[in-house]
Amino acid sequence: MRTSPTVRAPHRWFSQWFCDYAAKRLQKNFHRVRLLGDWPEAVPATVPVVIYGNHASWWDPLVGLAAKPIFFPDREAYAPIDAAMLERYGIFKNLGFFGVEQNSARGAISFLDQAEDILRRPGALLFVTPQGRFADVRERPLAFQRGIAHLAGRVPEAWFLPLAMEIAYWEESKPEILLHLAPPVRFSPETPRESVLAELERSLETAMDQLAAASVARQTDAFRDIFIGTAGVGGIYDFWRTLKARLTGRTINLHHGNR
């Protein structure tokens, strides 16, 4: 018998406001948020969607919240969070976050029950970080927790989209957030759980490797701008460039590099 609590739907206007707030935080603290490659493949409105990504930094949830209205404006977004943390920051209950007890069988069952309930809702979108902890983007193998494979077995019609994320310093004083949303992974109900887990790990690892290669090469032309944030080095250096431009009547471009 199911004993897990029912997940509260996101509060519509508050979620919209918080997504805007997240975007402003990113624009203030980063030079750009960039997407490698093309826009994500269109997913039929009737198909449940799971976006699963690596978890390298504190910024990851804000990236998801800010990007959601751009990539999936018509879907309601949900994400698991440590149950104790959710009680401490109860405001997130209005944003689609649901509590999961960490490192216990009860917590694992609760996650599956709540995640399945979410994916049965029309237009639902679930964000998960199956490594279950902060991990460096260079760490291999990814070693997912097994819950995501069991979720694929419970909701075989779901599409799983790998999302690679990393933060890189290029030519500006503020860093870049780099994203790569890879093609969806789909499974039949008969696919063994071990095969599901291995394929999910492989797909995200491939996306992370592709993103890392583009980041190392600084292939700006391979990226699309999602958000444009703060440019320039700052301090006396930008003060002098701005003053000089005003005195000479020229337009100032504070970007240290080309973009």
Structure tokens at 198: 């291995």
Q: Give yes or no: residues 237 and 217 share one domain.
A: no
Distance separating alpha carbons of residues 142 and 110, to the nearest angstrom: 23
Which residues have a Cβ under 8 Å from the Cβ of 77 and sit 6 or more positions away?
A: 10, 15, 64, 65, 68, 96, 125, 126, 127
Q: Give yes or no: residues 41 and 132 share one domain.
A: yes
3-state class (DSSP) for residue 54? coil
Answer for the pair 232, 185: CB distance below 8 angstroms, yes or no.
no
Structure tokens at 39: 């826009």
Q: Give yes or no: residues 247 and 138 share one domain.
A: no
Asked whether residue 108 is assigned to any structural domain, the reply reads yes
Query: Residue 163, Cβ neighbours under 10 Å: how many?
Result: 25
**CATH number, domain with residue 131:** 3.40.1130.10
For residue 231, report the phi and psi dihedrals to the nearest 5 degrees.
-110, 165
Q: Give yes or no: residues 212 and 248 share one domain.
A: no
Beta bridge partners of 179: 35, 165
Asked whether residue 2 is assigned to any structural domain, the reply reads no
Q: Give yes or no: residues 236 and 221 share one domain.
A: no
Q: Tokens 């460096």 — which residue? A: 136
Q: Give yes or no: residues 161 and 243 share one domain.
A: no
How many domains, the chain?
Answer: 2
Q: Give yes or no: residues 68 and 126 share one domain.
A: yes
Structural domain including 245 reads 232-259
Query: CA torsion angle for 17, 20, 21, 25 (degrees, to 10)?
Result: 170
Asked whether residue 67 is assigned to any structural domain, the reply reads yes
pLDDT beneath 70, residues of the chain: 1-4, 231-259
